[in-house]
Structure 1
Amino acid sequence: MNDVFALMSRIAEGPSVAAVWELGTGYFGRLGFQRCNYGFTRFRGENSVGDPDDALFLTTCDPSYAQFYFRNGFFSRTPAFRWAQHNVGACTWAWVREAYLAGRLSTDEAETVRQNAAIGILAGISVSFPETSSRAKGALGLIADPGISVEAVDALFARQKDELIAVANMMHLRIIQLPFPIRRRPLTERQREALEWVADGKTTQDVALLMEVSPAMVEKHLRLAREALAVDTTTQAVAKAALMNLIFQQPPRPANGAAL
């Protein structure tokens, strides 16, 4: 248990999404889940995650499966996705097998079960994270390593459920605090600075003085920021950048508390 506390502390202090993901998936891999899929969005609709380019998808699966699973929308047709959309907590995939055999899955869901089974994906665990916003949703899927049965996963889950969920929750909470690694063109430092001044209530003239550029250059920075974030107004750009932790970022901390 002390090892888990130490791991959670390292996750809580992780400096980047990649670093936190590596710590979390290392733990899950040691339990027998080397293939992990994670998704988070702040822009979900009633039955979708919103624009995929605004969502965060992380995986340890091979690139071909990741492309198939995320970019082609396979995940959204799985019974595990439906479960995560309507539940909070964690469960094994034993219920998926039971529902499939009983004919209780939709046609699309049953087909995803068959496709996964064909490539050896039979057992695993789903974690659906609690969120404070009706538009936010995060979930984690842990795919059991080859040779690990549904029954073996159930037994492990019964023994280590609390520990596993604690690590998963800490990983999720840290990831959503950090800047999103977006797939669109990233904001430049000047675009970010302009948005931050606007968020502070400054006018274009104010921002021009503060940044020591012309008002026309400020407008250019804001226009390019709107394009990068795929929004129509500067107000929307500020809101979206804030939601995605892209403005008012903390500078990197010195390692091990070293003096400045």
Structure 2
Amino acid sequence: MTLDHLQKLVSGTSVDAVWTQHCAQMAAFGFDRLLYGYSRLANAASFGDRQDALILSNHDPDYLDRYLAEDLLRTDPVIQWAEASDGALSWREIAGHDVAGSNGAALPPIQALNREFGIAAGYTISFRNLAHRAFGAISLTGAPGQTQQDLDGIWAAHGAEIVLMNRVMHLTVTKLPAPDSNRLTKRQREVLEWVAQGKTIPEICVLIGRKQATVEKHLRLAREAMNAQTTAQAVLKASVQNQIFTYR
């Protein structure tokens, strides 16, 4: 089962296909809801701009919308643990992630949301990256009715296998173009790649056989597509999203 799943992951040609395959495999282990995030443009405030992060999930869309809209990504204790750690951790060991209130006190927002959607037990895996500003993690939620004790038993038997599968999934999707990124046209990719190689606008005009106004238009549209203020920032974001090839 492990080898077959790994082969399917590494041969995936799109993030959507890899993610669908991976969700099905994790459900077979008893983890039916996953939340994955990765950014190579993270900052001191976790993922940084969400537009620059790859976030994948098969949670209820209402849960995910509220989780992101209320910016709970920055206060979720499992994410705070993952930012400072490498490996896997049972939610039993993460203070503040349990959904049980104490003494009738109001629950923190993340706990209240988890309780509302029946998120009670799970594991989180952090993908440590030595590259500056890179950060990735995935949270695996147990299926309804599963207790943390149940999941800890599954992990005792299959934890190493599950971690390996998730690491391969992570490495695979980070090499594929992000599914929700604003797509650059072929010409926009081309001019950004020439910029990345140090070419000036007049040089690019000669290389692609277009007038300066046309090249400047492609660069402007590329900046807009990447939600970038400068061409250099557009090059960086397009490279991070695997939309262009740059020498690194």
Q: TM-score, normalized by length of structure 2?
A: 0.89
Instruction: Measure, in 1, the Cα distance between the counterparts of 2:204 and 2:177.
Output: 24
- Following superposition of structure 1 onto structure 2, how do residues 189-204 of structure 1 map, counting pairs within 5 Å? 189-204=186-201
| 1:131 matched residue in structure 2 | 129
User: Partner letter of residue 90 of structure 1?
Assistant: A
Distance in 2, Cα, partners of 1:44 & 1:132: 13
Query: TM-score scaled to structure 1, two decimals?
Result: 0.86
8 Å Cα contact 1:53-1:182 kept in structure 2 = no
Q: Is 1:171 equivalent to 2:161 in the alignment? A: no
Runs of 4+ residues deviating >6 angstroms = none
1:74 lines up with 2:76 in the alignment: no
Are the equivalent residues in 2 in contact too, given 1:195–1:238 (CA < 8 A)?
Answer: yes
Deviations 1:185-219 (A, max 9, x none): 42122111111122233222222223222111001
- Distance in 2 (alpha carbons) for counterparts of 1:102 and 1:26: 29
108 and 218 in structure 1: CA distance in 2 versus 1, 3 angstrom threshold: farther
SS class of match (1:201):
coil
| Contact persistence 2:99–2:112 (CA under 8 A) | no
SS at match of 1:34: strand
Q: Show the counterpart of 1:210.
A: 207
How far residue 100 of structure 1 moved from its aligned partner, in angstroms, is 5.8
Q: Residues 199 and 27 (structure 1 numbering): CA distance in 2 closer, same or farther, change over 3 Å?
A: same
Letter in 2 for 1:123: A
Count, aligned residues: 244
Can you list the C-alpha shifts for 1:121-178, whole angstroms capped at 9, x where unaligned? 1101101001121201111011111000110011111111110000000000011111
User: Of 49, 57, 60, which aligns to 1:59?
Assistant: 57
Correspondence for 2:236 among 239, 242, 245: 239
Which of 22, 25, 30 aligns to 1:24? It is 22
Q: Deviations over 1:224-248 (max 9, x none)?
A: 1122222232222222211221113
**Which residue of structure 2 aligns with residue 49 of structure 1?**
47
Unaligned stretches of 5+ in structure 1? 250-260
Hey, what's the Cα distance between the residues in 1 that align with 2:206 and 2:87?
50
Change (3 A) 1:248 1:59: same
Q: Which moved more, 1:165-174 or 1:239-248?
A: 239-248
The 3-state SS of whatever aligns with 1:232 is coil
- Aligned match of 2:34 in 22, 25, 36? 36
The alpha-carbon deviation at position 86 of structure 1 amounts to 1.0
The amino acid that maps onto 1:218 is: V
**CA RMSD, 1 decimal:** 2.5
Give the secondary structure class of the aligned counterpart of 1:165: helix
| Partner Cα separation in structure 1 for residue 55 and residue 99 of structure 2 | 30
Q: CA deviation at 1:101?
A: 9.6
For the residue of structure 1 that corresponds to 2:94, the secondary structure is helix
Answer yes or no: is 1:219 the counterpart of 2:216: yes
One-letter code of the match for 1:33? F
Choose from 72, 82, 85 the match for 1:84: 82
C-alpha distance after superposition, 1:28-57 (max 9, x if no partner): 011111111101111111132111111111
Preserved CA contact (<8 Å) 2:121 2:141? yes
Contact kept in structure 1, 2:99 and 2:115, CA below 8 Å: no
Q: Kindly tell me: are residues 34 and 234 of structure 1, through their superposed partners in 2, closer, same or farther at Cα, counting changes over 3 Å?
A: same
Equivalent residue number for residue 256 of structure 1: none
The alpha carbon displacement at 1:108 in A equals 9.9
Between Structure 1 and Structure 2, the one with more helix by share is 1
Contact 2:77–2:97 (8 Å) recurs in 1 = no
- 1:222/1:84 CA distance change after superposition, 3 Å: same
Distance 2:97 2:65 in 1: 27
How far apart are residue 58 of structure 1 and its match? 0.5
